[in-house]
């Protein structure tokens, strides 16, 4: 089999209808748009128009708000961090930062920082430099002989 032999299954694709190509084609003259009126013309976009009735998107009430100071944090459990240390992906001697967690593959992208949560068990005494940590995570880290330093991540609005 060659790359040039690859094609869709028979009947999987349908040829595009060429409109406005003479009356013999069956789609000539008005090209299937009917006659006259706004929708027969070009450049018309009336999405959400309900014939003069108040459109649904205007009938429904507005709800909620966007908090400009909200932070989109990566949540990482201490059990996941311990698994990375055991696998040799995370260096236990240096501080555990967002960059170190990305390099270890624990977190995929930086976002606004990392928050450590207390699920799982931590055996290694690690030094964390993160945007946040839960009380249970801080307790577990300090019990294992580590420390937590909360660094202020910039809010999303700035």
Average pLDDT of the residues of the chain = 89
pLDDT of residue 153: 52
pLDDT of residue 33: 92
Please give the structure tokens belonging to residue 29. Answer: 């003259």
- Start and end residues for every CATH 3.100.10.10 domain found in the chain: 74-150
CATH 3.100.10.10 for domain 74-150: yes
| pLDDT tens profile 10-69 | 999 999 999 999 999 999 999 999 999 888 998 887 888 888 899 999 999 999 999 999
pLDDT over threshold 90, residue 110? no
- Greatest alpha-carbon pair distance for the chain in Å reads 85
| pLDDT tens profile 57-109 | 999 999 999 999 999 999 999 988 999 888 888 888 888 888 889 988 889 98
């Amino acid at each position: 089999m060659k790359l040039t032999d690859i094609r869709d299954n028979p009947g999987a694709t349908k040829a595009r209808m060429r409109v406005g190509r003479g009356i013999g084609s069956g789609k000539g003259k008005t090209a299937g748009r009917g006659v006259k009126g706004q929708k027969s013309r070009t450049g018309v976009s009336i999405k959400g128009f309900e014939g003069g009735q108040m459109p649904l998107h205007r009938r429904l009430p507005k709800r909620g708000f966007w908090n400009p100071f909200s932070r989109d944090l990566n949540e990482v459990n201490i059990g996941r961090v311990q698994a990375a240390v055991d696998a040799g992906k995370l260096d236990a001697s240096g501080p555990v930062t967002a960059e170190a967690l990305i390099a270890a593959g624990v977190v995929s992208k930086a976002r606004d920082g990392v928050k450590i949560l207390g699920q799982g068990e931590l055996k290694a005494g690690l030094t964390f430099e993160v945007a946040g940590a839960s009380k249970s995570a801080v307790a577990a880290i300090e019990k294992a002989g580590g420390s937590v330093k909360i660094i202020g991540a910039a809010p999303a609005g700035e």
